[in-house]
Chain A
Amino acid sequence: MKVVAVIPAYNEEKRIKHTIVGVLRYTPHVVVVDDGSQDQTHREARAAGAQVVRHAVNRGQGAALKTGTMVALSQDADVVVHLDADGQHDPQSLPDVLMPIETDEADVVFGSRYLGMKPEGMPWTRRWVHRAGRLFNRYLLGVPHEITDAQSGLRAMRAEAAHAIDFMNDGMAHCSEILRLVTRSDLRWAEVPVCVRYTEETLAKGQKASNAFKIVWQLFLRSFR
């Protein structure tokens, strides 16, 4: 089974190498799509052992993913995996994401950051935001509410599935678009929990996320004054 990892990257020269090295432990085929970066992302990626495709100008993550997927398919990939370049996805999760495809239980697998996480530990505001997000996805985008992580950038799909879903959105909305296309098709899909890597960077990001909720909460309170 030829697994090709597709990593869209925009100005990621500092972090791309680490991500590629991690992914190479699980598959020798890594395609990095340099989405019009102004830095040395393409050099770093090539040096780390990835194939590099370069967009002449920045077209957005969705566009880069699609280009990378096309490259993977043209090289007879059996499975295409999408990952973020910034190292937020632990490559250790790759076998978990690939498992349902290997055992022929699913055609598309989404990695979820929230699946299996006990909701008791979550602040009620965050739970509320998630619930609102799911309602939005369900009623406005037509994504089933069973999906726990609608913004996950880590997913694996069989080549036939990658051929079948034709996502058009160039920007960040491709996550929801892919979910919508997959869940409305005959393709079998699954969600698996993926681990979070606790580096200083991801911790800093997690901190930022909780700050975002705090800001929303403060804006909400302020509106009563």
Chain B
Amino acid sequence: MLIQLILLLILLGAMYMTYRRRKQKAIRPIEGYLWSLVWLGAAVVVIQPDLTTRLARMVGIGRGSDLVVYGAVIVLLLLVFHLHIAHDKLERQLTELVRQKALEEQKKDL
């Protein structure tokens, strides 16, 4: 089916990007492996959709695509949570930096 081809091409592209980022040492080895695993897993599911259906039945969900959506929602929520924490930390660090600079300049004025 066409959708399978499109998805596989996108996943191939993602795999290539991950490989390049790893080569550039932009991501840690563990991150490279984990993302590769995610893309590979997705590719397997795209080629063999029945696999998810069997898995879904096992945990009591009717359709395989539902299982994928539920899983994706959970993963996305975790990512948002992680980003939220990271953002909060950055904000605090920025405030601290701005404060240090302000205090240093104030000392110079005295």
A63 contacts B by Cβ under 8 Å: yes
Interface residues on B, range: 10 to 19
Provide the residues of chain A in CB contact with B91, threshold 8 Å.
170
Are A56 and B106 in contact, CB atoms less than 8 angstroms apart?
Answer: no
Are A55 and B99 in contact, CB atoms less than 8 angstroms apart?
Answer: yes
What would 14 A/B residue contacts be, using CB atoms closer than 8 Å?
Answer: A36-B98, A51-B109, A54-B106, A55-B98, A59-B94, A63-B99, A66-B99, A67-B99, A67-B103, A70-B99, A71-B103, A71-B106, A170-B91, A170-B95
Provide the residues of chain B in CB contact with A33, threshold 8 Å.
102
A60 and B101 CA atoms in complex are apart in Å by 16
A187 and B95 CA atoms in complex are apart in Å by 27
Binding site for A on B (CB under 8 A): 91-92, 94-95, 98-99, 101-103, 105-106, 109
A168 and B106 CA atoms in complex are apart in Å by 22
- Interchain nearest-CB distance for B3 vs A (Å): 44
Provide the residues of chain B in CB contact with A74, threshold 8 Å.
103
Q: A53-B102, A59-B99 are in contact. List 4 more A-B contacts (CB 8 A).
A: A52-B109, A66-B99, A70-B99, A71-B103
A66 and B100 CA atoms in complex are apart in Å by 12
- Interchain nearest-CB distance for B69 vs A (Å): 33
A36 and B91 CA atoms in complex are apart in Å by 15
A57 contacts B by Cβ under 8 Å: yes
- Interchain nearest-CB distance for B45 vs A (Å): 43
A148 and B101 CA atoms in complex are apart in Å by 37
- Interchain nearest-CB distance for B89 vs A (Å): 12
Are B98 and A56 in contact, CB atoms less than 8 angstroms apart?
Answer: yes
A59 and B95 CA atoms in complex are apart in Å by 6
- Interchain nearest-CB distance for B72 vs A (Å): 33
A56 and B104 CA atoms in complex are apart in Å by 12
Pick the contact of B95 from A51, A54, A63, A71 — CB < 8 Å? A63
A71 and B102 CA atoms in complex are apart in Å by 10
4 shortest A-B CB distances, which residue pairs?
A53-B106, A59-B95, A63-B95, A67-B99
Are B98 and A53 in contact, CB atoms less than 8 angstroms apart?
Answer: no
- Interchain nearest-CB distance for A37 vs B (Å): 13
- Interchain nearest-CB distance for A66 vs B (Å): 7
A56 and B106 CA atoms in complex are apart in Å by 12
- Interchain nearest-CB distance for A203 vs B (Å): 34
A56 and B109 CA atoms in complex are apart in Å by 16
- Interchain nearest-CB distance for A58 vs B (Å): 9
Provide the residues of chain B in CB contact with A36, threshold 8 Å.
98
Provide the residues of chain A in CB contact with B106, threshold 8 Å.
51-54, 71
Provide the residues of chain B in CB contact with A70, threshold 8 Å.
99, 103
